[in-house]
Amino acid sequence: MTIELILDGKRTALEILPGQNLLQALRGASRFSVKLGCETGDCGSCTVLLDGEPVNSCVVAAARAAGRSVTTLEGLLGDPLMQRLQRELVDKGAVQCGYCSPGMLISLYALLKQDEAPTDRDVREALSGNLCRCTGYVKPVEAALAVAATLGGAS
């Protein structure tokens, strides 16, 4: 079947299978920032935005995206907020092997778009779906709070 969606800001037609998950469909469309980790909704390495909300694309049917907007990291590379998050994650040492990074970036981006002054707890809640085997989470949280501090909201 063919679905039409707004993929990374562009109207796009995607050829998908009815039972396919969104993760596979996006990788099929060369969105390789969308990582395959657990494929059970637990690890968050496949996180993308569906109509602006973070979702685990491995437990979303590709067909569900018809008529909606899907945003991956590839679509946000020129976005100033995303660029600040990327810079800060690197500077704070919150990127080690990097496998979780695209998913974390999407989760943090979604949080900061909706709330410019998140608390430590809000950041941890936003990252509740992102497993990281390397950093121990402290540095990603620090990085997110550091970016938030530059957005005008104190935390």
Residues near ligand FES (CB under 6 A): 36-39, 41-46, 56, 58, 95-100, 132-135
Question: Is residue 125 at the binding interface for ligand FAD, with CB under 6 A as the rule?
Answer: no
Q: CA–CA separation, 73 vs 47, rounded Å? A: 9
Question: Is residue 59 at the binding interface for ligand FAD, with CB under 6 A as the rule?
Answer: yes
137 binds, among ligand FAD, ligand FES, other proteins, none (CB under 5 to 8 A by kind): none
86 binds, among ligand FES, other proteins, ligand FAD, none (CB under 5 to 8 A by kind): none
Place of tokens 């990327």: 86
Question: Is residue 21 at the binding interface for other proteins, with CB under 8 A as the rule?
Answer: yes
Degrees to nearest 5, angle at CA 69 with 149 and 52: 25
Within 8 A by CB and 6+ apart from 87, the residues are none
In 8-147, beta strands by DSSP E: 10-15, 47-50, 53-56, 69-71
Where does this chain bind ligand FAD (CB under 6 A)? 41-42, 59
